[in-house]
């Protein structure tokens, strides 16, 4: 065997070994002998067709395993500063915004009692852990609720002092309301002394004025009731001076003594009375004043009082006069005498009965006739 033949055999073994190694591949290989071997007329190396290995069957991909998502909380509590100082007890709704789809559960949560409202000038704190304990007592477990917001909420009761103007306005309004039921004439109410200072909790204040005392001008006692957010907090009694105005005939111009009153000298209006007892001195009937003589100067705009004028008497004291009295359905006529001068028709005049010599007061409806009550 020649050296070239040995080399050819060695190369052939090498290529056959490589071919065996490539049988696992999915490609085909062709072995080509070098030209030197062909020149020696050695048999042509056969081409080896490599068989394609069968493809492995793909397995279906498995779904990834995710941990279960936690369920949304039933209740969300967002702690916040209270809008106003609660009255009486602090409820959870006062210091937190709440979210819950169950109306009944929401109502129970809103009403959770977190303790008493601090006294005036004091402060207290509400902590989330206290809210958590209260929620657990309602049967809510871990994951059923979430609490958000600050680590504590301050509830401070600074209180408030009622301004004097507020008190005066409330009293004035109460008297005007009563006065409107009696004709609507103007009325003025003034406090005689400043009420004792009172500090109230924050909230919506309503001042109630009760027990207005008797009508009319003069000093009256009233009771103030202080309501905050619908709760009665305190009461005070105060004294006021009431000045009512009454309908009156006023001087339309300055009237000098000796002037005789005519219709153009008068105008209608209201006049404040410091005392109710002076009301009888102010006539309101124009016909009553016609022809009266002015005794003392009356400035324009001032009321015309019976003390400011005088009449030529229609009948004098001691003159006899007819009296009329209604007894049930029976009208009784009698005679009497005037116990004072009769100055004008409509005057409340004192008369004396002839029968029993007793005095009585009646209203003159004409120059010679007085009607007794």
Q: Write down the pTM of the prediction.
A: 0.42
- Specify the pLDDT at position 42: 47
Q: Give CA separation, 189 vs 172, 175, 271, in Å.
A: 6, 8, 15
Q: Which domains occur in the chain, in start order?
A: 3-39 (no CATH), 75-158 (2.60.480.10), 159-306 (no CATH), 320-372 (2.30.30.760)
Residue 4 to residue 9: CA distance in whole angstroms: 9
Q: What is the pLDDT of residue 130?
A: 94
Give the pLDDT of residue 23: 53
**Residue 339, CA atoms < 13 Å, CB-side half-sphere:** 14
217: which residues sit within 8 A by CB, 6+ positions away? 242, 243, 244, 272, 273, 274, 275, 276
Task: Return per-residue pLDDT of the chain as tens, 373 residues.
Answer: 454 466 666 666 766 665 555 554 444 444 454 555 444 444 554 544 445 555 555 556 555 555 555 567 889 999 999 988 787 899 999 999 999 999 999 999 999 999 998 877 788 999 999 999 999 999 999 889 999 999 999 998 876 778 888 888 898 888 888 876 556 678 888 888 877 777 677 678 888 998 777 777 888 889 999 998 888 888 888 899 888 888 888 999 999 999 989 889 999 888 887 765 556 578 878 877 888 889 999 999 998 888 888 878 888 888 999 999 888 888 888 889 999 888 878 888 999 988 777 888 999 888 889 999 8
Distances (CA, A) of 150 to 78, 156, 191, 273, 297: 9, 16, 48, 63, 78
Note the pLDDT of residue 39: 47
The Cα 157–Cα 228 span in angstroms is 13
Q: pLDDT at position 102, please?
A: 92
Q: What confidence score (pLDDT) does residue 92 get?
A: 95
At 368 the pLDDT is: 87
């Amino acid at each position: 065997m020649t050296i070239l033949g040995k080399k050819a055999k060695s190369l052939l073994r090498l290529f056959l070994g490589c071919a065996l190694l490539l049988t696992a591949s999915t490609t085909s290989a062709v072995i080509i002998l070098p030209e030197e071997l062909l020149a020696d007329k050695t048999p042509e190396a056969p081409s080896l067709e490599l068989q394609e290995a069968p493809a492995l069957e793909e397995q279906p991909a498995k779904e990834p395993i995710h941990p279960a998502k936690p369920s949304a909380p039933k209740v969300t509590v967002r702690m916040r500063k209270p809008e106003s100082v609660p009255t009486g007890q602090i409820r959870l709704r006062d210091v937190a915004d709440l979210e819950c789809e169950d109306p009944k559960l929401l109502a129970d949560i809103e009403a959770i009692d977190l303790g008493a409202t601090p006294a005036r000038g004091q402060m207290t704190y509400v902590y989330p852990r206290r809210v958590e304990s209260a929620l657990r007592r309602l049967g809510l477990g871990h994951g059923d609720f979430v609490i958000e917001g600050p680590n504590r909420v301050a509830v401070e009761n600074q209180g408030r002092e009622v301004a004097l103007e507020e008190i005066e306005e409330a009293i004035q309004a109460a008297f005007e309301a009563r006065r409107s039921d009696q004709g609507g004439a103007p009325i003025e109410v003034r406090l005689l002394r400043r009420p004792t200072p009172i500090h109230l909790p924050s909230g919506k204040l309503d001042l109630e004025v009760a027990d207005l005392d008797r009508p009319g001008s003069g000093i009256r006692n009233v009771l103030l009731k202080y309501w905050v957010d619908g709760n009665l907090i305190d009461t005070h009694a105060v004294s006021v001076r009431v000045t009512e105005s009454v309908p009156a005939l006023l001087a339309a111009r300055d009237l000098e003594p000796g002037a005789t009153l005519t219709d153009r000298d008068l105008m209608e209006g209201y006049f404040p009375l410091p005392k109710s007892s002076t009301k009888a001195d102010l006539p309101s009937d124009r016909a009553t004043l016609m022809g009266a003589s002015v005794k003392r100067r009356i400035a324009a705009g001032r009321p015309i009082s019976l003390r400011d004028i005088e009449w030529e008497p229609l009948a004098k004291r001691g003159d006899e006069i007819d009296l009329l009295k209604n007894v049930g359905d029976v009208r009784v006529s009698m005679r009497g005498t005037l116990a004072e001068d009769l100055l004008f028709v409509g005057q409340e005049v004192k008369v004396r009965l002839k029968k029993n010599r007793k005095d009585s007061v009646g209203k003159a409806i004409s120059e010679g006739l007085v009607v007794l009550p």
